[in-house]
Amino acid sequence: MGENNANTIGSCPVCNREMWKDCHVDRHHFTPKCRGGKESEYVHKVCHNKIHSIWTEKELEKEFNDPEKVRTHPEIQKFIKFVCKKDPDYYDKNDIHKRKK
Ligand SMILES: [Zn+2]
Ligand SMILES: [Zn+2]
């Protein structure tokens, strides 16, 4: 609703906050391709990391293959409350550190 609107890529399926092209976003396959999943979806990097820190690939594939289900988990609810107070661009810098290795 501002002049920045052109940069939005929709709202995050995890936390529901808006995502911006130039902030930290990732793509996540809610339903893996091998199970007939569509394309990956944009999620915030921080949300993406959270998902993968709670569940293994197998659990994601079997149970948490739907944003609706992901959001009902208590850990995610806690996380959403926490992350809603952060900037849209917020991410865990420590995580970047790990990835560089
Ligand atoms: Zn998010
Ligand atoms: Zn993922």
Spell out the per-residue pLDDT of the chain, length 101, in tens. 445 556 889 999 999 999 988 788 999 998 877 777 777 899 999 999 999 999 999 999 899 999 999 999 999 999 999 999 887 677 766 554 454 44
Q: Model pTM? A: 0.80
Of 4, 3, 19, residue with least CA distance to 91: 19
Residue 17 near residue 11 (C-beta atoms within 8 A): yes
β-sheet bridge partners, residue 44: 25
- 44 C-alpha to center of ligand 1: Å? 4
pLDDT at 95: 53
How many other β-carbons are positioned within 10 Å of the β-carbon of residue 86? 13
Q: How far is the CA of 18 from the centre of ligand 1 (A)?
A: 8
* 71 CA → ligand 2 middle, Å: 15
CA of 2 to the centre of ligand 2 (A): 30
